[in-house]
Structure 1
Amino acid sequence: MRIYIFLSAFWVILHNCLQIHAANCTCRTATDDTEWFLLFKPVGLLKAKIISPANAGWANDGANMNTDSGHALVQTLAEWMGPILDDMTALGYSNTPPKSTITSQTTSSKGILMFGNETTDGFWLLHTFERAFPNSVAWSWPSKFTSEGHMALCLSISEDNVPLIVPALQYQEVVIYFGQVSSEKATEFADLTSLIDGSLPTITPPLWNQQTITTLNSALSTVVYSKTSSSRLEMYGSFLAKVMVVNMRIWAVTDNTLQTTCGGKIGFVKVVKSPVTIDGTQNDRSKDKSQWAVIDDKPVFCFTTNGYSTKQRTVAGSATCITQQVVSNLFATSAANFIPCPYS
């Protein structure tokens, strides 16, 4: 009887330990795990708008973003904010790293890539928040974020996508503020280890890169376009419009060194007028950190990291483009008013 009681207690303790150390990393809305979501925090508001497979348009997020529970980002980043165990793989990068005063002048990308120890799945979160998000630190909300507009794109992915994401991040010249590869994944994630320690081969021309990744169950096809700081490519007219062979409407920071383009039948860049309306909210360009492009006559939306100016030719960055009809339609509506060609 004593042996039985001892063994029963042992298995309970073992089960509890395994439960405590099990970490499943995935994109999450306020209530459920999800294949992907696109989040927009309007200028001056605390509650974000969100699009995911669960809704056919914009929906309000579950809670204000200055609270530490009940909204998509805090739910998704639960494992990132907790202790990152040795058997987990995680990468945080930002041109404006948390706990730092450094601002990189050669890259514009921000994101978190994370895989747990319970499954082979993880998430890739792209975002626009400066000095965010420190690893192993509880959720906090700097007051300046409230007055700003922000965006985040989250993709739930399998580890098979890591060899495709690594070169994209290399071309983006990301500044890594936290990097760890599980010893159990040393072989599968060898390139990620090399990215973290800076031992990847030197990039040779062409100085841009294109990778196609998919979310779990192939629910969302995503093409990531990346460019180096030495490419001298302006993100929108010189790069995306030519590589994709499209016309586009863009919402991006601009210093007026570049304008809506003129002439020709393909390769137009039309600058969306400020303020832009997103789900009934008004957002001024000077306060909105989000940058994006919507492709004319195609169901494609791009989360972008670069401003629209001549200075951005020497800044590495990316456009993460998703083919999704609902998202495309919503942003096409928001982009209906654009600055006309100055010479027409």
Structure 2
Amino acid sequence: MVAMRPTDEEINKKIFLCLQKAIVYKAPAQNTGKIIHAGAVGNWDNGQAPFANGQGHSFAKTLEHVVGDDRTIKFLAYNNVPPGIPNVKTKSNSKGVIILSTTADSAAWVVHTIPGFPTAKTPYAWPASETARGHLLICLTISKSQINAIAASLLLAQPVIHYNDIPETETAGMPYFKKLAEGQTPIIPPFTSRRTIRTQNAGAP
């Protein structure tokens, strides 16, 4: 059995194309990856397009609003090797993007291992030097209500936030996100905090 790839109809309908949950693994020296979607019963599908392409794979679709300019899409990006900012000193190795729509209850959380990627509001550009390395990318489609729990988890990792244009009106009542956006440091030990984060489809794994 082969994991189902997103159809053109699904791509056009979804603001963020993760199909609830998707994991991509790129092996060292490979320019394409293997992808598995929620509900695929453990079967990996070969990626059809190289990561260097700005289209043709689900993560390029998900990140199109990060690298493009859509007034209805806002996001917070973090990376311990932030693009265009050399010699950043941090204890964190976290990398990812929280993306949301200002016109719908639709959001996505992308977690990855790629330094300096993606660059906000700049055309999609896969760092060629990273093709030689192995990488993992995880994408979750979520409801906005899950963002505060995600922020609470990220606070413990103390990520380096290099871009954030999410307005406060979208995160009202989310104290952990406010702390994350302001770069505050948690005062509780990690072992005292436990969070549950669910994808947008409650029936998905």
Could you tell me the TM-score, scaled by structure 1's length?
0.51
Cα RMSD over matched residues? 2.3
Structure 2 CA distance, aligned partners of 1:105 and 1:194? 18
Q: 1:79 Cα deviation (Å)?
A: 0.9
Q: 1:194 aligns with which of 165, 179, 191?
A: 179
Q: 1:62 Cα deviation (Å)?
A: 2.6
Do the aligned partners of 1:181 and 1:189 also contact (CA within 8 Å) in 2?
no
Identity %: 23
SS at match of 1:166: helix
The reply on whether 1:78 has 2:68 as its aligned counterpart is no
The aligned counterpart of 1:258 is none
Q: For residue 77 of structure 1, what is the amino acid of its counterpart?
A: L
Structure 2 CA distance, aligned partners of 1:79 and 1:54? 26
Structure 2 CA distance, aligned partners of 1:146 and 1:179? 27
Deviation string, structure 1 residues 156-189 (Cα, Å, up to 9, x no partner): 0001111211111111111100112225325244
Change (3 A) 1:148 1:205: closer
Do the aligned partners of 2:102 and 2:170 also contact (CA within 8 Å) in 1?
no
The aligned counterpart of 1:155 is 140
Deviation string, structure 1 residues 74-106 (Cα, Å, up to 9, x no partner): 111011111152x54311001111112134441
Q: 1:126 aligns with which of 99, 111, 114?
A: 111
The aligned counterpart of 1:314 is none
Counterpart mapping for 1:244-283 below 5 A? none
SS at match of 1:216: coil
The reply on whether 1:46 has 2:31 as its aligned counterpart is yes
Q: 1:209 Cα deviation (Å)?
A: 3.0
Do the aligned partners of 1:25 and 1:123 also contact (CA within 8 Å) in 2?
no
Do the aligned partners of 1:24 and 1:122 also contact (CA within 8 Å) in 2?
no
Unaligned runs of 5+ in 2: 1-12
The reply on whether 1:67 has 2:57 as its aligned counterpart is no
Structure 2 CA distance, aligned partners of 1:73 and 1:206? 30
Deviation string, structure 1 residues 253-276 (Cα, Å, up to 9, x no partner): xxxxxxxxxxxxxxxxxxxxxxxx
Unaligned runs of 5+ in 1: 1-22, 29-33, 222-344
Structure 2 CA distance, aligned partners of 1:188 and 1:24? 26
Q: 2:16 aligns with which of 6, 20, 26?
A: 26
Do the aligned partners of 2:23 and 2:137 also contact (CA within 8 Å) in 1?
yes
Counterpart mapping for 1:84-233 below 5 A? 84-85=70-71, 88-198=73-183, 200=184, 202-205=186-189, 209-220=193-204
Change (3 A) 1:203 1:74: same
| Greater length-normalized contact order (CA 8 Å, ≥ 6 residues apart) | 2
Q: 1:203 Cα deviation (Å)?
A: 1.2
Q: For residue 34 of structure 2, what is the amino acid of its counterpart?
A: K
Report the number of matched residues.
192
Structure 2 CA distance, aligned partners of 1:167 and 1:69? 32
Counterpart mapping for 1:297-316 below 5 A? none
Structure 1 CA distance, aligned partners of 2:14 and 2:164? 18
The aligned counterpart of 2:7 is none
Structure 2 CA distance, aligned partners of 1:38 and 1:78? 18
Rg (Cα) greater in structure: 1
Change (3 A) 1:183 1:84: farther
SS at match of 1:165: helix
